[in-house]
Amino acid sequence: MTHAASPIRVCDAQDLRNGGPGVKLPATDSAGHSTVFFIRYQDRVYGYLNRCAHVGVELDWENSFFTRAGDRIMCARHGATYLPDTGVCDGGPCRNGRLTPLKVQERDGTVYWLPEGKIQPAASQG
């Protein structure tokens, strides 16, 4: 068997709606403690490290990640916008930056995070 990281359960699939609130989990990476977040956009689930490409703070305000129109991720701090399916910034002070994507999986009505590299869960999930 290969040494694959075990999937982390994020939430029920139905907890994530297109353009709706995200789900956050505690995480660590080489820069210390942070969070990761998971959203649904055009029926697919995406996950990113919750760190703006501008000055490195968390993006959301109370789990709200989307613009009102639901077509961009928007940083609550200075309004940088990111494409939800790639994490590439397309407006605001982070131009040419991008969010760090995570590997996610949706199966049997559940969303999973498959941690890899230096971004790892900070606490075990109950």
Length of the chain: 126
Residue 77 binds to ligand FES (criterion: CB under 6 A):
yes
CB nearer ligand FES, residue 53 or residue 111: 53
For residue 32, the minimal CB distance to ligand FES (Å) is 17
Euclidean distance between CA atoms 101 and 50, whole angstroms: 10
Looking at 36, 52, 102, 104, which residue binds ligand FES (CB under 6 A)?
52
- Count the helices and strands in the chain (H runs, E runs): 0, 11
Q: Which is nearer to ligand FES, 91 or 121 (CB)?
A: 91
Residue list 91-110, contact with ligand FES (CB under 6 A): 92-94
**What is the 3-state secondary structure of 4-62?**
CCCCEEEEEHHHCCECCCCEEEEEEECCEEEEEEEEEECCEEEEEECCCCCCCCCCCEC
Residue 44 within binding range of ligand FES, rule CB under 6 A: no
Q: By CB under 6 A, is residue 75 in contact with ligand FES?
A: yes
- 54 near ligand FES (CB under 6 A): yes
CA dihedral 47, 53, 58, 62 (to 10 degrees): -70
- Interacting residue ranges for ligand FES, rule: CB under 6 A: 52, 54-55, 57, 75, 77-80, 92-94
